[in-house]
């Protein structure tokens, strides 16, 4: 294939960024993304569903390791972005993809200081109480997976989460075939209609209402790469529900370089295990980045994995402020660096290629996925 080395550069950096003319409005860049289309499918044997769900990801490749990694070849990129689709009846299909390039640009990644711990001194997380907050945007977009992770509503029937919540890199987890998504709703108290029993000092009790998952998409980069350097880069999955959830959702977007984020910060909400039943919100500074990962010091515990990482920026075309999901919180990552373990909190960035893939999973039409 002629021109492959140049094409690989396009694959990893394609974008057309329009700088903001405003001095006070952080503005969403305009990206031109590649096109990813299915080329062939293969029916696979039904999975065993024998893996244990792991809410923490372990990787031997840290920040500097990721930065030193060579660019993948064209065939490797196609292989990583090919995917498996798991259906509720247990059937499994592998889809090979083709990639078509429409532009080029610069990465803009920048080296910054590192993060040290999962909880950084004073715990800066906020538990969200009361239906007035929990049922309103953006907190209402956070949902709980029956495997113990968090997910984010990104379309009428779709939830974005982390791949390790569904698949451990070798096999699907035990709860993946009967996977459900939980939506927090107020508990209904029978026999108290018309009675004013709400106290301003007592948060209203909530419960989860569950919807079954129809099918799940997991990129082959995660399935083939969990045990090596690139696995963390592909720790994302998309769930399609059996019926619409009828809530406002948050759109996905291509992750800008950290220096373009408002205040250099990211935000996300999740169901941390140390606060059962509570939705926990946090925001923090991004400390470093690679092309595929954001290294940050957001306080988090297992259970928050799969949360959608978002920012709020000005959308020039629509002349309004808009929140978008720019990454997926992969969780607390222990990294072996020269024999000494160090821990980071890591989020997977939605790159132009990942945007094209996830958007196609949602829309089923690449024409609606041209601008990130």
d(CA 140, CA 131): 9
Q: Sort 262 into a burial class: Cβ within 10 Å, 0-12 / 13-18 / 19+.
A: middle
Q: Give the predicted TM-score (pTM) of the model.
A: 0.83
Residue 307 in contact with residue 328, Cβ under 8 Å?
yes
Does residue 288 register a pLDDT over 50? yes
DSSP state of 86: E
CB 346 within 8 A of CB 333: yes
Q: What percent of the chain has pLDDT over 90?
A: 48
Which CATH number does the domain 35-101+130-187+205-363 belong to among 2.40.10.120, 2.40.170.20, 2.70.98.60, 3.40.190.10?
Answer: 2.40.10.120
pLDDT tens readout for residues 72-124: 888 999 999 999 999 999 999 999 999 987 544 433 333 333 333 344 444 55
> Which is the catalytic residue, given 158, 164, 167, 217?
164
Backbone angles phi, psi at 182, to 5 degrees: -105, 135
Active-site residue flag, 123: no
* Active-site residue, 305 included: yes
Pairing of strands 237-241, 206-219: antiparallel
Of residues 16, 229, 336, 371, which has the active-site annotation?
A: 229
Give the Cα-Cα-Cα angle 248, 127, 283 (nearest 5 degrees).
75
Q: Is residue 42 over pLDDT 70?
A: yes
Domain boundaries, the chain: 35-101+130-187+205-363
Is residue 125 a contact partner of residue 282, using CB atoms and an 8 Å limit? yes
Model pLDDT for residues 167-191, shown as the tens digit of each residue: 998 999 999 999 999 998 887 665 5
Choose, from 305, 307, 330, 332, the residue flagged as catalytic.
Answer: 305
**Angle, CA of 51, 151 and 251, to the nearest 5°:** 140
Helix, strand, coil share of the chain (percent; to 5):
20, 35, 45
Active site residue 66: no
Q: What is the pLDDT of residues 242-268, one digit of tens each?
A: 999 999 999 999 999 999 999 999 999
The answer to whether the beta carbons of residues 214 and 241 sit under 8 Å apart is yes
pLDDT above 90: residue 310: yes
Please report, for the chain, how many H helices and E strands are present, in that order: 6, 17
Q: What is the DSSP letter of 298?
A: -
């Amino acid at each position: 294939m002629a021109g492959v080395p140049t094409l690989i550069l396009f694959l990893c950096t394609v974008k057309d960024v329009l700088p903001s003319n405003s001095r006070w409005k952080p503005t969403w860049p305009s990206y031109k993304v590649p096109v990813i289309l299915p080329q062939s499918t293969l029916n696979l044997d039904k999975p065993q569903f024998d893996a244990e769900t792991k809410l923490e990801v372990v990787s031997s490749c840290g920040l500097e390791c990721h930065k030193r990694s060579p660019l993948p070849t064209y065939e490797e990129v196609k292989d990583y972005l090919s995917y498996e689709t798991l259906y509720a009846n247990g059937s499994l299909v592998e889809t090979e993809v083709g990639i078509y390039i429409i532009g080029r640009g610069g990465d803009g990644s920048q080296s910054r200081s590192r993060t040290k711990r999962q909880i950084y001194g004073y715990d800066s997380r906020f538990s969200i109480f009361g239906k007035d907050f929990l049922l309103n945007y953006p907190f209402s977009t956070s949902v709980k997976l029956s495997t113990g992770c968090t997910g984010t509503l990104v379309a009428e029937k779709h939830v974005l989460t982390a791949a390790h919540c569904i698949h451990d890199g070798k096999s699907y987890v035990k709860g993946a075939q009967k996977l459900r998504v939980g939506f927090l709703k107020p508990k209904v108290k029978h026999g108290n209609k018309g009675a004013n029993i709400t106290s301003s000092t007592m948060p209203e009790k909530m419960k989860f209402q569950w919807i079954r998952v129809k099918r799940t998409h997991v990129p082959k980069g995660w399935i083939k790469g969990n045990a090596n350097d690139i696995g963390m880069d592909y720790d994302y999955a998309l769930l399609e529900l059996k019926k619409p959830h009828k809530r406002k959702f948050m759109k996905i977007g291509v992750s800008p370089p950290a220096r373009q984020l408002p205040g250099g910060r990211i935000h996300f909400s999740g169901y941390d295990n140390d606060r059962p039943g509570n939705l926990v919100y946090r925001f923090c500074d991004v400390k470093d980045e690679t092309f595929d990962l954001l290294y940050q010091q957001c306080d988090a515990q297992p259970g928050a994995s799969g949360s959608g990482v978002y920012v709020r920026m000005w959308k020039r075309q629509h002349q309004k402020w808009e929140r978008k999901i720019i990454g997926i919180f992969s969780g607390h990552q222990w990294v072996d660096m020269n024999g000494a373990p160090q821990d980071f909190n890591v989020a997977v960035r939605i790159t132009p290629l990942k945007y094209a893939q996830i958007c196609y999973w949602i829309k089923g039409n690449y024409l609606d996925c041209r601008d990130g």
